[in-house]
Chains A and B, each alone.
Chain A
Amino acid sequence: MKFRCERDILADAFGAASRAATGRATNPTLSCLRLVLAGDSLRVTGTDGDLTIEAVVPVADGKDGVVLLPAKLASEVVRSLPSGAVTIEVGDDKVQISASRVNFSVPTGAEGDFPKWSGSVGGGVSVPAATLSDALKQVVRAASTDDARGVLTGVLITGVDKKLRLVATDSYRLAIRDIDAAVLPDGAKFVVPARALGELQRLLGNAETVSINITENDATFEMGATRLVTRLLSGTFADYQRLIPPSPPNSLTISRDSVLESIRRVKLVARDPIGTPLRIRIAPDGVVLRMVSQDSGEAHEQLDGEMSGNEIEMSFNNELLAAGIEACGAELVTIQTSEPGKLAVIRPKDDPSYTYLLMPLRS
């Protein structure tokens, strides 16, 4: 096998595919990239067995073949090369990677046990990449990062009212985002690992559209010449719809940037990474954010906001609250509450497509 390719193109393909490769599996081929050259098209694949990323790039002066390369090393080598053409040539048990006056000789891996591609090709429903990327940014962070939480480490993808709905929760907060795209029939439900969607978000950066195809066992996302396929998580996702209160009596509309700046300021006294409670008092004369730290003192700030309903004081985890408000993405956000100890509903003002539910702290 032998080919020539521009460094930037090859580095992007190696970089994308190597993010799915893993050095922690018992199968050593999973720490490798699989390169398959047919004609002037090179397919680069990395997988950990559950998540697979594949990129197809154009090459020149090709001689067909298949080879496994250590993913991390090969990616770093290609990225480090001077810009311009890179030549890769496979020998008996080494691969020569060269550009200009630089040459690397890298050992190859054993081809035998590399998993087969399990995703779908074609047949998906197209969604604007920027829309899906925004939705993932709003939702994925709410998924649990604790592997012991099983299905909560995933994002529920479901069809609701001819829209695509993404839902994630770590049981302290829950994020919901609706996208105007009939990707799934109403009522269809799948849970996609949040890690895979985090990787998808990276890949969406330069794409215009993404094609989504979800089958019984896996989900495939295609962006031009790059594809990502992931196994789905099994298990029953939380019954999230019953958690959304129909009309909480208290409502505050406030500037998103102002409240985020205020949280950043008052949390200067909170060095405790667990999350020093942030107290919010919402009253007719204004909103007061207050934080008290046994180690570092106290801070409070008054903000203007438009409120209706009753005066209320609640405590929140400052990081989870800021994440929800930031994710709204609008100039004004609405925070709806009912009573201390009950969840708050955070939404962009006049935009029902995003909802963030957050439990307060015991106070």
Chain B
Amino acid sequence: MRLVVARCSVQYEGRLDAQLPEAVRLVMVKADGCVAIHSDGGAYKPLNWMNAPNTIREEETQWIVSNPKGETLTITFHEVISDSAHEFGDDPGLQKDGVEAHLQELLAAVPEAIAPGLTLVRREWPTSIGPVDLMCRDENGHYVAVEIKRRGEIDGVEQLARYLEVLAPDTTLTNLRGVFVAQLIKPQAKTMAEARGIVCVEVNYDDLRGRRPEELRLF
């Protein structure tokens, strides 16, 4: 991972032309060749980025990043404040906490707990920006993308909205809609979900555990 903090300006040419005027930013070059340019704000989204595979040509005051699709990102450095590289090694991946992972397993086993007639198509449905927790079909055969959180907050709704946006061009997913599931969903998240046509469902973890088939007990 190479991290460059610099006063820079950026020019993107590709599907559209866009530019970032001169300012101090963090330029990240990841081991797989991804390049991301961050400002000092926002949790996850870079101002501009290019996914791997990329070719990076370093010149004296400029980096020219290009990819096979013909997109080009030109970063012009006016002042380099810091330039460091770090070896990260293999990443173990995202470890969801016990309750959230367990919720996903329980709901995959009993999708009807989310909505009557819902059947599981697949857990961890792959998309280019990460897997959707559950892909299900409703009683009409329409696809339902389900995002599961322990606590339902705005970022979870945004995450599901991004998945729906990425999956929207896939015509095989007929009438795709989203359902946001959590033990407790905050009012702001409900409002945002409603505005984006996403249905919110609150589930009770203990009740779900009670629906586990092995709950037959000796006493």
Contact = CB atoms under 8 A, between A and B. Distances in A.
Q: Do A and B bind each other?
A: yes
B17 interface: no
Contacts of A320: 214
B213 A359 contact: no
B219 A171 contact: yes
B112 interface: no
Contact of B213 (A173, A273, A277): A277
A343 interface: yes
B43 interface: no
A172 B214 contact: yes
Interface residues of B, number: 16
Contact of A315 (B213, B217, B219): B213
A102 interface: no
Contacts of A243: 218-219
B2 interface: no
Nearest to B213: A361
A173 B218 CA distance: 7
B219 A361 contact: no
Nearest to B122: A295
A218 B102 CA distance: 37
Contacts, number: 50
A36 to B, nearest CB: 41
B218 A275 contact: no
B216 interface: yes
A171 B102 CA distance: 21
B108 A272 contact: yes
Nearest to B211: A362
A359 B109 contact: no
A334 to B, nearest CB: 19
B214 A359 contact: yes
Interface in B83-142: 102, 105-106, 108-109, 120, 122-123
B196 interface: no
B212 interface: yes
Nearest to B105: A274
A243 B217 CA distance: 11
Contacts of A277: 213
Contacts of A273: 105
Contacts of A357: 218
Nearest to B212: A274
Contact of B216 (A174, A239, A294, A360): A360
A294 B105 CA distance: 12
B218 A172 contact: yes
Contact of B105 (A173, A272, A341): A272
Contacts of B102: 274
A133 interface: no
B120 A294 contact: yes
Contacts of B212: 274
Nearest to A271: B123
Nearest to B215: A362
Nearest to A243: B218
A268 interface: no
A302 interface: no
Interface in A265-283: 272-275, 277
Nearest to B102: A274
Interface in B10-41: none
A257 to B, nearest CB: 25
B107 to A, nearest CB: 11
Given A171-B219, A274-B105, A357-B218, 5 more contacts: A172-B214, A272-B109, A294-B108, A359-B218, A362-B213
29 contacts: A169-B218, A171-B218, A172-B214, A172-B217, A238-B219, A239-B219, A243-B218, A243-B219, A272-B105, A272-B109, A274-B105, A274-B106, A274-B212, A274-B214, A275-B214, A277-B213, A294-B120, A295-B108, A295-B122, A295-B123, A320-B214, A341-B216, A343-B218, A359-B216, A361-B214, A361-B216, A362-B215, A362-B216, A363-B213
